[in-house]
Amino acid sequence: MGVRKILARMRQGGDGEHQIVLNRLVIACIVQIYLLGIYLYGAITLGRLCGLSAICGTFLLGAIAIAVALLLWPRPSQARRILQLGWDLGFLSLGMHQGRIDGIPLYPIYLWVILGYGFRFGLTYIAAAAVLGASGFVLAVHDLPVWRDTGYLFAGLVIGLLIIPLYSASLIRFLSDTRRRAEEASRAKTLFLASVSHELRTPLNAVIGMGRLLGESALDTEQRDMVRTIRAAGTSLLGMIEDLLDFSRIEDGRMPVRARPFALLSVLNEVRRIVGVAAHDKRLQICIHVTARTPSWLVGDDRHVRDILLNLAGNAVKFTERGHVVIAVDGAALPGGGVGLRFEVSDSGIGIPEAAQQRVFETFTQADDSVIDRFGGTGLGLAICRRLVDLMGGEMGLRSLEGQGSTFWFTIRLQEAAPASVPPASASPPLASPASASPTSAPAAWPGLVLLTRNA
C-alpha cells in the first residue's frame, strides 16, 4: 500500500484525527533529535541521554501503534481520542519531569496538544486537555528548583495553559456557529436548486416532446429548421437542469455509489450512441480504444461511469469543430485485488490555456468568459465529474495544449465480474458494425489496443 493510499485511508474518519497522529510522529522525532543535539553539545551525560531517549522511544512506539490502529479502523472513535489525549499529555509531563531544566523547551507542546484537540474535536476536548495539561505541568515541575526560584514565571505558565485555551474556546464556538450557518445556507440553496430544477424539467420535457412530434409532421424547410432550433434549445436547457440536479444531490450527500455487474462495452456503446448525434452534425469521427487486457465485465456503479464519460465526451464534441474524439480505456488487475481502470477522452478541439486548466474543475466556471458566449453551458459538468470520481475513490485530471486539443482522464478501482452475473439488459452489442468499424494501429501510449472506429 503506497503512502498516498495510507493517508487517504487514515483520512476516512473525516475528523482530522490523522493530523494529530502524524504530528505526534513528527514531534517524537524532533524531540529525539533535540536530545541528541544537547548531548553532543555536552549539556547532558550519556546516561541521561539513554534514559530520556527510552521515554521518547516508548512514546514513539505508542504513536506508531495508534497510527496502525487508525489505519485498520479509520472510523471516529471517542475511546481512541481519550487514550491519545492521556498518552500525549502523560508522556509530555513525564519528559518535563525527567528532563528537568533541559525539558523547558517542551512547554510549547502543551499548547500544541491542547489547541490541536480543541480545534479538531470541539469544546469538550479543549476543556479536558487544558485541565489535564495544567495538572500534568504542575506535577511535573513543582519540585524542581528552577521553578521554585521563579515562582511568578511558574504561575504565569500555568495560567497560560488555562487562559489561552479558554480564549481559543470562544473562537472555536464562533467558528462552529459560522460554519453551521454556512452549511444551513448551502442546504437551503441546494434545496432551492433541486426544487426549481425539478419543476422546470416536467414542462420542458413536454416542449421537447411536442417539438419532436411537430418535426415528424409535414413542414417546409424553414419550418423544419425552426423545429430543430426549438428542440436543440430545449435539449440544451434540459442538460443544464440535469447538471443542477446532480450538483444538488452531491452537495446534499444524496448521490450514492451502487455496485452492480455491468458490461463495459455496453456503457461505451451507449455513450457513443448519445454523443454520436451531435458528432454527426459536425462531421466528427468518434473512436473507441479498449486495450486487450481490459476486462469486459465489471462490478461497480455503471451509471456514474456513464455519466462521467457522457459529460467528457459531450464537452469534447462541443469544443471540437473538426477532427475526432477518442474514448480510450485501459484496465489491469491490481496486486491487492480488483481492477484499476483508466479512462481518457481526447479531442482535437480548441484546447485549454495552461493558466485555466485548474479552474475548469471549479463550480460555475469555464476556461474564460468567451467560452460561455460561444458554446454556452453552466460550468458545472466537470465539477460534477470530479466529485463523482472522488465518490468512487478515484482521481481525475487533464492534459491540454491551447489550439491543439485536450485529454481528460480519470482512474477508478472496480471489481471484475463473471459474465453470467451481468444482467441481459447490460449485454453489450457490438461497438460498430463491420461496415463502419475498422481496426487501426494503436498509438504507442496504448499498447495492445483494440481500436474500433465509427464515423458518426
Q: Please give the angle made by the CA atoms of 198, 201 and 202, to the nearest 5 degrees.
A: 100
* 3-54 pLDDT per residue, tens: 777 777 777 777 788 888 888 889 989 999 988 998 888 888 888 889 889 9
Determine the pLDDT at residue 383. Answer: 84
Query: For the ranges 259-263, 355-359, 407-411, which has the lowest average pLDDT?
Result: 355-359
Determine the pLDDT at residue 422. Answer: 65
pLDDT of 439 > 50? The answer is no
Determine the pLDDT at residue 276. Answer: 84
For 245-369, list the strands marked E by DSSP.
260-263, 285-291, 297-300, 324-333, 339-347
* 45-90 pLDDT per residue, tens: 888 889 889 999 999 999 899 989 888 888 888 889 999 999 999 9
Taking a C-beta distance cutoff of 8 angstroms, is the pair 20, 76 a contact? no
Determine the pLDDT at residue 341. Answer: 94
How many Å apart are CA 428 and CA 359, to the nearest integer? 36
* 351-399 pLDDT per residue, tens: 888 777 777 777 655 545 544 444 444 567 788 888 889 888 899 988 8
231-251 average pLDDT score: 72
Closest CA to 65 of 50, 87, 90: 87
Please state, for a pLDDT cut of 90, what percent of the chain lies above it. Answer: 20
Helix (H), strand (E) at residue 306: helix 302-318
Stronger pLDDT, 247 or 229, i.e. the higher one: 229
pLDDT band at residue 195 using 50, 70 and 90 as cut-offs: confident
What is the pTM (predicted TM-score) of this model?
Answer: 0.52
Beta 285-291 vs 324-333: how paired, if at all?
Answer: parallel
Locate the domains of the chain by residue range.
Answer: 3-149, 196-252, 260-416
How many Å apart are CA 385 and CA 312, to the nearest integer? 8
Contacts of 271 (CB under 8 A, 6+ apart): 306, 309, 310, 313, 327
pLDDT of 344 > 90? The answer is yes
Stronger pLDDT, 319 or 443, i.e. the higher one: 319
How many Å apart are CA 200 and CA 369, to the nearest integer? 26
pLDDT of 192 > 80? The answer is no
How many Å apart are CA 168 and CA 76, to the nearest integer? 23
205, three cell numbers: 420535457
Please state, for a pLDDT cut of 70, what percent of the chain lies above it. Answer: 84
pLDDT band at residue 401 using 50, 70 and 90 as cut-offs: confident
Stronger pLDDT, 209 or 344, i.e. the higher one: 344
Determine the pLDDT at residue 164. Answer: 93
pLDDT of 149 > 80? The answer is no
Determine the pLDDT at residue 441. Answer: 35
Query: For the ranges 63-77, 86-100, 148-162, 398-412, which has the lowest average pLDDT?
Result: 148-162
Determine the pLDDT at residue 145. Answer: 78
The count of C-alpha atoms lying within 13 angstroms of the C-alpha of 286, restricted to the half-sphere facing its C-beta, is 27
pLDDT band at residue 429 using 50, 70 and 90 as cut-offs: low
156-171 average pLDDT score: 91
231-246 average pLDDT score: 73
pLDDT of 316 > 60? The answer is yes
Determine the pLDDT at residue 175. Answer: 87
278-290 average pLDDT score: 88
Among 3.40.50.720, 3.30.565.10, 3.10.20.740, 3.40.309.10, what is the CATH number of 260-416? 3.30.565.10
pLDDT band at residue 428 using 50, 70 and 90 as cut-offs: low
Residue with cell 484499476: 340
Q: Long-range contacts: 247-253, Cβ < 8 Å, 24+?
A: 247/193, 247/363, 247/380, 247/383, 247/384, 248/190, 248/191, 248/193, 248/194, 248/197, 249/194, 250/384, 250/387, 250/388, 250/391, 251/186, 251/190, 252/187, 252/190, 252/191, 252/194
Name the residue type at position 410: F
